[in-house]
């Protein structure tokens, strides 16, 4: 049976692939060793779910939504090598995995573009899938991502993530707005510290939202920040 005749690959198939799951575990192990926040199954699961939510709100075809969910789940797999250039190495790893699983190249292609462009240093929204993935990835700021067990040794990234008690992405198709709502415990980090490390990510979110025809909004502790 050739790829064009095979059953379409679903997110559940990727999750059942032991090689893919081991590489995601390994990616988070590298991030832990380097002192970064969690980039494992929790993070990629949330990113995959938010990507689905955004693409669903855009009323995109179900197959494209499924591919977006797969892109979300595999987007950080390149961290198994190094944080530097992980979107590029991740796209290469994702190609090998999905090709081995029998996915058609025409479906792998948009996934690779989304993975390869999700980071603010070198990436840019290049498709609706890519834009949805960017918004999903950059919105996952939360205390549960902190892997450092020693509060006294937290760096600014640990403190800012630890301070965020709740984060939520909501889309309003009528108003054409995508809003990221955060509840920050300012006893751990100030709102200014959030912007100190996340400003470039919020700018990327604005560009991603604009590609979708939406405006990006940020609400912190009940206050809308324009």
6 SS3 class: coil
Work out the percent of the chain whose per-residue pLDDT is above 90.
Answer: 89
Mean confidence (pLDDT) of the chain: 95
For the chain, give every domain's residue range. 11-225
| Domain 11-225 CATH assignment equals 1.20.120 | no
Q: Chain centroid to CA 80: how far?
A: 16
Query: 72, 74, 65, 64: which is closest to 19 by C-alpha?
Result: 74
Q: Which residues contact 221 (CB under 8 A, 6 or more apart)?
A: 182, 183, 184, 186, 191
- The 10s digit of each residue's pLDDT in 122-164 is 899 999 999 999 999 999 999 999 999 998 899 988 999 999 9
E strand or H helix that includes residue 172: strand 164-172
Residue 1, pLDDT above cutoff 50 = no
DSSP 72-86: HHHTTGGGGT-STTH
As a whole number of angstroms, the distance between CA 89 and CA 182 comes to 31
Give per-residue pLDDT as tens, 64-87: 999 999 999 999 999 999 999 999
What pLDDT is recorded for position 31? 96
What's the mean pLDDT in 35-58? 97
pTM equals 0.94
Is residue 96 over pLDDT 90? yes
- pLDDT at site 104: 97
Percentage of residues of the chain with pLDDT beyond 70: 97
Give which of 143, 77, 146, 149 is closest to 115, Cα–Cα: 77
DSSP 159: H
Which pLDDT score, from 0 to 100, does residue 5 have?
54
CB within 8 A of 67, min separation 6: which ones?
Answer: 107, 110, 111, 129
């Amino acid at each position: 049976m050739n790829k064009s005749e095979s059953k379409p690959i679903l997110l559940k198939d990727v999750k059942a692939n032991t090689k893919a799951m081991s590489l995601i575990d390994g990616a988070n192990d590298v991030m832990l060793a380097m002192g970064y926040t969690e980039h494992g199954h929790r993070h990629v699961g949330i990113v995959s779910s938010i990507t689905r939510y955004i693409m669903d709100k855009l009323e995109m075809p179900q197959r494209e939504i499924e591919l977006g969910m797969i892109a979300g789940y595999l987007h950080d797999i390149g961290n198994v090598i190094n944080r530097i250039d992980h979107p590029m190495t991740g796209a290469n790893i994702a190609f090998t995995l999905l090709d081995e699983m029998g996915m058609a190249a025409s479906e792998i292609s948009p996934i690779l573009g989304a993975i390869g462009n999700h980071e603010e240093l070198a990436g840019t929204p290049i498709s609706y899938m890519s834009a949805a993935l960017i918004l999903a990835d950059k919105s996952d700021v939360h205390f549960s991502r902190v892997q450092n067990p020693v509060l006294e040794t937290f760096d600014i990234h640990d403190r800012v993530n630890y301070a965020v008690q709740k984060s939520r992405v909501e889309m309003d198709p009528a108003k054409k707005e995508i809003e990221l709502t955060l509840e920050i415990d300012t006893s751990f980090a100030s709102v200014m510290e959030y912007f100190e490390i996340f400003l470039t990510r919020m700018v990327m979110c604005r560009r991603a939202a604009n590609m979708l025809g939406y405006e990006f909004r940020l609400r912190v502790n009940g206050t809308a920040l324009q």
